[in-house]
Structure 1
Amino acid sequence: ATVKNSKEDMTLPTVHPGPVTVDYKGQGLFGPETSLGMPTCLLCVCIGGSVYCEDIGLEQIPPLPKGTTHFYGRFNKIRHVKNTDFINKLQSIDLTGNQISEMDEDTFRFLPKIQELILAGNNLQVMPELPVTMKHIDLRNNRLSSWGVHSEGFKDMSQLESLYLSDNKLDYIPTPLPLSLRVLHLQNNNIQSLHEDTFCNHHDHNFIRYNLEDIRLDANPLNINLFPQAYVCLPRLPVGSH
């Protein structure tokens, strides 16, 4: 008996596949395309709703996928943040260690879910306008002066727990401060005096600010012993020069 080579008898159909495309600008696997011609989630790392674009030399914020809730753009070369850079699902933004000196005034105003903003180690002279949903604000190591902090900018932030403003050029403590505040760091500024209503209410001697337990005023030209009435409502004295 003879056995024929099966390869000689095998006929395979010819397949002509159509073009395969990925919608980078929609909710595609790799997110929208950046100005560098590369999808954001190939240039950066996307895990769930978090986008990590850290220390890769970015000069602007890349387009974010529609489901982004947390954006980390630390240690890049970003100078200007625009009001079109972010999407309204964002809850947390970290731009530590960039070169940011300019921001559109309403950059964060229309982010209804934002709770955490970290802009430490930049060149900001003016604090951006922030929504009342904030819980954590970190503006350390900038160039903020008191004229650059919006009057009563923190007043309506009823959920604010931590405010870091150390290593700036502030002349006084921004007031009023929300009762929810737990941490206030103001060391290494130019604060020289305190008002008796900075933390307390001199009209109400029964008023106690229970939550504010961590106040740093050291490395300011301020002798905290000279302002005892400013602390009578606090559970703990500020750290500062005596």
Structure 2
Amino acid sequence: MVTWNRSRKKLRYGQSLAPVHIMFLRFGVFLCIFGAVFQTATACTPCPSMCSCTLKSGTTDECEVECQGQGYRTLPTAAEMPAAASWKIVKLDLSNNDIEEVPRNNISFLTNLQELSLRGNNISIMEDNTFDDLEELEVLDLSSNHITQFPDDLFESPNIIIKHLNISHLQLTSIKESFLRKLKEIEVLDASYNRIDRLSSNLFNKNDKIQLFKMSNNDLVSVDLRRFRKYVSDLSYNKLTSIEASHFITSILQLDLTGNLISSVDPSVLDQLPNLQNISLAGNPWECTCSLKDFHDKLIQLETSSGLILVDKWNIRCSNLDVPMFNLTNTALWSCLCKKKQNPASCLAKQWPKIRSKRAPGKEV
């Protein structure tokens, strides 16, 4: 029992608390009460086992459910999720679990969902119309699963507004035109790290808003981008051997061709790309012969006149000479490559004795 004095508090065993201790005690009680109130204010209930359910920042009724890596084999049921009468579930992250299927009936109640991640599960088959009830969904991540093909009618509702779709790290060998026809709001499509060897020229025929298309690390041997709109294209690490001017649309802004099998390009390709801001060409087996000179010169011209950025410029190498292509800026060096009756290497050796030596990047001759 505590008896009160004017300046101190006495405990029943004769002990007393100094004012500073009383202040800390009151502050501790305040923190406990505040913590309980704060947790109540920011938690959405009920919440699936081993998940976190919190309010989206700046909202009072929009809930984000995070269930990454918790060993889920099936989707949480409606009864396990935050009550629809009180909360709008706008984000559901089920990445890195063991989910094998996504029945439409198991997600149809998520009518306010804006972002869904199923990355890194064991999904191999998707059924028709799976996401047609999710008319607020903008971001969908299906990457790193075992899917080899999508059904033609995976997205069938005309009200779908998906903007970002990640289908990378799957086992796809193609993308059908029908797969994207209802995704009229799509802006970003990531199909990298698959086994896709061909693309239909009409793939984006219904997708006027596409801005970023990632197709790196596939098996493409040719590509036709005439139907695409204003966008950035990543075609790095495929098996492209050539690119043609007729296969590109003029509105392309960025083009990544790193790590393909391209040895020569007609300079008219660059005339077809007047809005191009940067291009990546390293990692290709460029054959620096007389036929490549015009392409080389055009790149230099655009770099100077329009500010074209040659990404990783000094790693664009001549496979036949084992030197950076842009170390061959000197006219005399290119003339060696265009002399029919003289061995180019011998001519270059005379013009540039250290052609085989390591040169500092950025030093042109």
Which position in structure 1 is the counterpart of 2:219? 190
- Greater RCO (CA < 8 Å, at least 6 residues apart): 1
Distance 2:195 2:227 in 1: 18
Select the residue among 186, 206, 218 that pairs with 2:236. Answer: 218
- Structure number with larger C-alpha Rg: 2
For 2:213, what is the secondary structure of its paired residue? strand
> Of the candidates 161, 179, 185, which is equivalent to residue 133 of structure 1?
161
1:158–1:104 Cα change, 3 Å: closer
Q: Is 1:45 aligned to residue 74 of structure 2?
A: no
Counterpart in the other structure of 1:152? 178
1:62-211 map, 5 Å: 62-63=76-77, 64-65=81-82, 66=84, 67-86=88-107, 87-127=110-150, 129-130=154-155, 131=157, 132-146=160-174, 149-174=175-200, 175-177=202-204, 178-195=207-224, 197-199=226-228, 209=229, 211=230
Say if 1:196 and 1:227, in contact at 8 Å, map to a contact too. Answer: no
Q: Partners of 1:97 and 1:156 in 2: how far apart?
A: 25
Q: Do the aligned residues in 2 keep the contact of 1:192 with 1:222 (CA within 8 Å)?
A: yes
Q: What whole-Å deviation, never above 9, does each CA across 1:80-120 have from its counterpart, x for those lacking one?
A: 11112212221110111111112222211221111110011
Contact 2:226 2:248 in 1 (8 A): no
Decide whether aligned partners of structure 1 residues 135 and 196 sit closer, same or farther in structure 2, where only a CA change above 3 A counts. Answer: closer
The 2-side partners of 1:122 and 1:193 are apart by 26
Change (3 A) 1:96 1:68: same
Number of equivalenced pairs: 193
Output aligned runs, 1:225-240, within 5 Å.
225-236=242-253, 238-240=255-257
1:70 CA displacement: 0.8
Report if aligned partners of 1:56, 1:76 keep a CA contact under 8 Å in 2.
yes
Map of 2:72 onto structure 1: 58
| 1:180/1:196 CA distance change after superposition, 3 Å | closer
Q: Which has the higher helix share?
A: 2
Question: How far off is 1:196 after superposition?
Answer: 6.0
Contact 2:124-2:145 within 8 A present in 1 as well: yes
Give the aligned residue type for 1:234. S
- Cα distance change, pair 118–100 in 1 and its aligned pair in 2 (3 A): same
Using a 3 Å threshold, how does the CA distance of structure 1 residues 96 and 185 change in structure 2: closer, same or farther?
A: same
Two-structure CA RMSD over aligned residues (Å) = 2.2
TM superposition score normalised by structure 1: 0.72
Question: How far apart, CA to CA, are the structure 2 residues paired with 1:185 and 1:219?
Answer: 11
Against the structure 1 CA distance between its residues 143 and 77, is the aligned structure 2 distance closer, same or farther, given a 3 Å change threshold?
Answer: same
Segments ≥4 residues shifted beyond 4 Å: none
Deviation at 1:238, TM superposition (A): 2.3
How far did residue 153 of structure 1 move? 2.4
Ranges in structure 2 where 5+ consecutive residues have no aligned partner: 1-43, 56-62, 263-365
Do 2:221 and 2:240's aligned partners in 1 also have CA atoms closer than 8 Å?
A: yes
